[in-house]
């Protein structure tokens, strides 16, 4: 709990547990930077930089929800949004970890690339949506914001969502160019981020 700008901002037990889940996700992510396949193609560096900047803003706002001028409460600090937020957070982190494990060495990390020997993974969560890691991240960001309830946290979700939409569009272009008819067939039977919707 801290006080900034005259408003009390609480990191409740729900928020602290949500932060711990993000740490678990980070631990799963880190080995991938050393074990992923070598890069073959990198495209749209300007868009990639924009997406990375938006993701940085997202996490600054989610992990620093008491920023001066942005610490106004939007949702209440009580058990209902806290528990709802944790449920979304856990579901999102679990889905993202599952997708990361299934993707294996094809994972690209912060820079969106096509790897040497890249495979178009279509199993596990990739049979549900084409970008399950991002689906999981959106759920986890929204869940964390619910545990915080500040304007900063919801602005963080908006920045993260914008970054993910940019990344999805870049990755769709890369995969379509790399896998052509195979990716087209995959697109016809799956949605990008939200099952049965989009």
For the stretch 72-85, pLDDT in tens is 889 987 899 999 99
Q: Which of 68-77, 90-99, 160-169 has the lowest mean pLDDT?
A: 68-77
pLDDT of amino acid 48:
86
pLDDT of amino acid 37: 60
Residue at 78 is within a domain: yes
Residues 56, 54: Cα–Cα separation, whole Å: 5
Identify whether 67 is part of a domain: no
pTM over 0.75: yes
> Is 154 within a domain?
no
With respect to residue 4, please indicate whether it lies within any of the assigned structural domains: no
Domain around 139: 10-53+73-147+161-189
Average pLDDT score over residue span 60-67 = 85
Instruction: Quote the pLDDT of residue 8.
Output: 43
User: What CATH number did the domain enclosing 41 receive?
Assistant: 1.20.120.1630
162: pLDDT strictly greater than 50: yes
Per the domain annotation, does 155 fall within a domain? no
Is the pLDDT at 107 greater than 50? The verdict is yes
At residue 3, does pLDDT exceed 90?
A: no
Q: Per the structure, how many domains does the chain have? A: 1
At residue 7, the pLDDT reads 40
Q: How many CB atoms lie within 10 A of CB 91?
A: 15
pLDDT digits (tens, 9 = 90+) for 109-151: 766 777 677 899 999 999 999 999 999 999 999 999 999 999 9
Summarised one tens digit per residue, pLDDT across range 18-48 is 999 999 999 988 887 676 665 556 677 788 8
Residue 194 forms part of a structural domain: no
On whether residue 107 sits in a domain, the answer given is: yes
Q: Does residue 198 have a pLDDT over 50? A: yes
Average pLDDT of the chain, as a whole number: 88
123 found inside a domain: yes
């Amino acid at each position: 709990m801290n006080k900034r700008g005259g408003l009390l901002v609480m990191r409740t037990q729900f928020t602290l547990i949500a932060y711990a889940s993000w740490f678990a996700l980070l631990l799963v992510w880190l080995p991938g930077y050393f074990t992923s396949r070598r890069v073959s193609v990198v495209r749209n560096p300007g868009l990639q930089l924009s997406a990375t900047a938006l993701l940085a803003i997202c996490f600054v706002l989610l992990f620093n929800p008491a920023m001066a001028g942005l610490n106004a409460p939007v949702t209440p600090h009580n058990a209902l949004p806290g528990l709802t937020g944790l449920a979304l957070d856990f579901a999102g982190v679990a889905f993202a970890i599952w997708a990361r494990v299934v993707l294996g060495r094809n994972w690209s990390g912060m820079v969106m690339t096509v790897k040497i020997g890249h495979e178009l993974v279509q199993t596990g969560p990739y049979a549900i949506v084409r970008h399950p890691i991002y689906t999981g991240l959106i759920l986890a960001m929204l869940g964390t914001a619910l545990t915080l309830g500040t304007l900063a946290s919801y602005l963080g979700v908006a920045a993260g969502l914008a970054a993910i939409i940019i990344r999805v569009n870049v990755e769709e272009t890369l995969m379509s160019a790399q896998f052509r008819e195979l990716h087209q067939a995959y697109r016809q039977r799956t949605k990008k981020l939200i099952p049965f919707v989009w």
